[in-house]
Amino acid sequence: MLLKELHLKQFRNYEDLSLSFQDGLTIITGENAQGKTNLLEAIFLLSLAKSHRTNQDREMISWETDQAIISGLIQTKNYEFPLEMHLTQAGKIGKVNYLEQEKLSQFIGKLNVILFAPEDLQIIKGSPGGRRKFIDAELGQAQPLYLQTLLDYNRTLKQRNRYLKEFGYRSTFDELYFAVLTEQLIDQATILIQERKRFVKALEELAQPIHTELSKGRDILELSYKANHSTLNGIDESELKDAYQDLFNQAKEREKERGVTLYGPHRDDLEFLINENNAQFYASQGQQRTIVLALKLAETELLKQLTGEYPVLLLDDVLSELDDGRQHILMSHIEAKVQTFLTTASIQGIELDALNKAQILKVRNGEIYSE
Ligand SMILES: Nc1ncnc2c1ncn2[C@@H]1O[C@H](COP(=O)(O)OP(=O)(O)OP(=O)(O)O)[C@@H](O)[C@H]1O
Ligand SMILES: [Mg+2]
């Protein structure tokens, strides 16, 4: 999949910008705070209908204006189509082929991207929420059904939590209504967990050889999906529903006391093991970086398997952290097959081979100069 053109109007510090891209590597270079990450953010937005660094969409609209338009021309194996995102004070509108999409979920995933930014080291060291986001972002853009189930699950969860919370002020508890909500929640939870487990397994298989290569054979990486109650782990997919039902039966009184849903995929986690030790606690900086790079390259392959096309790879400021050997491995994985956008303050220190083939764009204060 290829992003052939990008147009920005009043997006961040870009007043009016039009760019055409080649396949292969595009290097975006420039000093700090000139607009390098802003460009990647715009591409990310065309894929996932949101920013990777803020939940406040209006932050992306240029100061002193009230609307931004981000559009791109996408080319897949079979056809070419425009994508457009309008950010306004009132909300956002996504268009595919100039047609306004009723729901943003219909816009998401038309362009597939994988982003790797320095903050992604948090996937290893940070909270479970970040790891769930990591899984959801990929599955959500590759599988519309997963995205829909996730949205449905979140809605049911909210409803169930509200009912549990309100019980504190109410004297009656409608058992039947609560049982229906619980059953709905379990149905949706089971689908999410099955998909996540399959995803984690597939990702592990793809990441392991890449990781071994990156760590020069020293470290073995393993991934394991961790549901937030031990009885839910290590059981067959077919037993999951019953196990959840048992758990919720046991937990009902406690849930009423606490006013919140205690189990479910919204509390699950993903564990990374390096040589059988939990990487969250034991991995060094360099090991964390290696794991994340292996994950991102594996995700790229996995999206190809799931959708039939390679995603667009966005690498924000990560090259300078990699030694020559790892840079070389990275380049050999993306070369000629994955369109890649890479930002860096300086092109010094970038492997020469890669530089020679790249399109180089220089950013200064929201304006782009070709080199
Ligand atoms: N809504 C906005 N309107 C106008 N300008 C903005 C807006 N949001 C951010 N900016 C400008 O964009 C700049 C940051 O751009 P960006 O994050 O892309 O920098 P960068 O080139 O990636 O820098 P670094 O090398 O430090 O990562 C900010 O300094 C700010 O001036
Ligand atoms: Mg930046």
Q: Read off the pLDDT of residues 12-37 as tens digits, 9 standing for 90 and up.
A: 999 999 999 999 999 999 999 999 99
Asked whether the predicted pLDDT for residue 355 surpasses 90, the reply is no
Q: Which ligand has the shortest distance to the CA of 363?
A: 1
- Decide: 43 and 55 in contact? Cβ < 8 Å: no
pLDDT (0 to 100) of residue 371:
72
Dump pLDDT digits (tens) for 298-353. 999 999 999 999 999 999 998 877 888 888 888 888 877 899 999 999 888 787 77
DSSP lists the bridge partners of residue 69 as: 9, 86
Whether the predicted pLDDT of 234 surpasses 90: no
Binding residue per annotation — 343? Answer: no
* Common-topology check for domains 1-112+310-371 and 120-308: no
Whole-number Å distance, alpha carbon 192 to ligand 2 midpoint, is: 33
Q: What is the pairing mode between strands 91-96 and 80-88?
A: antiparallel
Ligand 1 atom closest to the CA of 41, numbered from 1:
18
pLDDT given at position 314? 97
Burial of 223 (0-12, 13-18, 19+ CB in 10 A): buried
Confidence category of residue 171, pLDDT binned at 50, 70, 90:
confident
Ligand 1 pocket, mutate which of 8, 9, 11, 12 (most atoms under 8 A from CB): 12
Q: At which residue do the structure tokens 């304006």 appear? A: 367
Find the 32 Cα to ligand 2 centroid distance in Å.
7
Nearest-atom number in ligand 1 for the CA of 345 is 25
Domain 1-112+310-371: top CATH class: alpha beta
CA of 99 to the centre of ligand 1 (A): 30
pLDDT of residue 66 exceeding 90, the answer is yes
Residue 262 predicted with pLDDT over 90:
yes
DSSP 82-104: EEEEEEETTEEEEEETTEEPSSG
pLDDT, position 30: 96
Average pLDDT estimate for 195-223: 96
Q: What percent of the chain has pLDDT over 70?
A: 100
Looking at every residue in the chain, the average pLDDT score rounds to 94
Residue 37 marked ligand-binding: yes
Residues 105-121 have a mean pLDDT of 94
* Average pLDDT of the segment spanning 44-54: 96
Residue 265: is its pLDDT beyond 90? yes
Evaluate whether 114 touches 140 at the Cβ level (below 8 Å).
Answer: no
Question: Does 109 appear as a known binding residue?
Answer: no
Q: Which residues, at least 6 apart from 234, have a Cβ–Cβ distance to it below 8 Å? A: none
Pocket of ligand 1 (CB under 6 A): 12-13, 30, 32-38, 59, 61-63, 317, 345
Written as one letter, the residue type at 357 is K
| pLDDT score at 95 | 98
34 is in an annotated binding site: yes
Q: Can you tell me the mean pLDDT for 91-104?
A: 97
The larger pLDDT score, comparing residue 47 to residue 351, is at: 47
Torsion sign across C-alpha atoms 161, 262, 235, 271: positive
Give me the residue spans of the domains in the chain. Answer: 1-112+310-371, 120-308
- Nearest atom within ligand 1 for CA of residue 317: 27
Give the architecture-level CATH label for domain 120-308: Up-down Bundle (1.20)
Mean pLDDT along residues 231-255 = 94
What is the per-residue pLDDT for 351?
Answer: 75
Sign for the CA dihedral angle at 59, 62, 65, 70 comes to: negative
Ligand 1: atom nearest CA of 59 is: 1
b/e per residue, 21-51, with b = 16+ CB within 10 A? bebbbbbbbbeeebbbbbbbbbbbbbbbbbb
Cα 33 to ligand 2 centroid, rounded to whole Å: 7
Residues 208-225: what's their mean pLDDT? 95
Ligand 1: residue of 27, 34, 61, 341 to mutate (most ligand atoms within 8 A of CB) is 34
CB neighbourhood size of 351 (10 A): 15
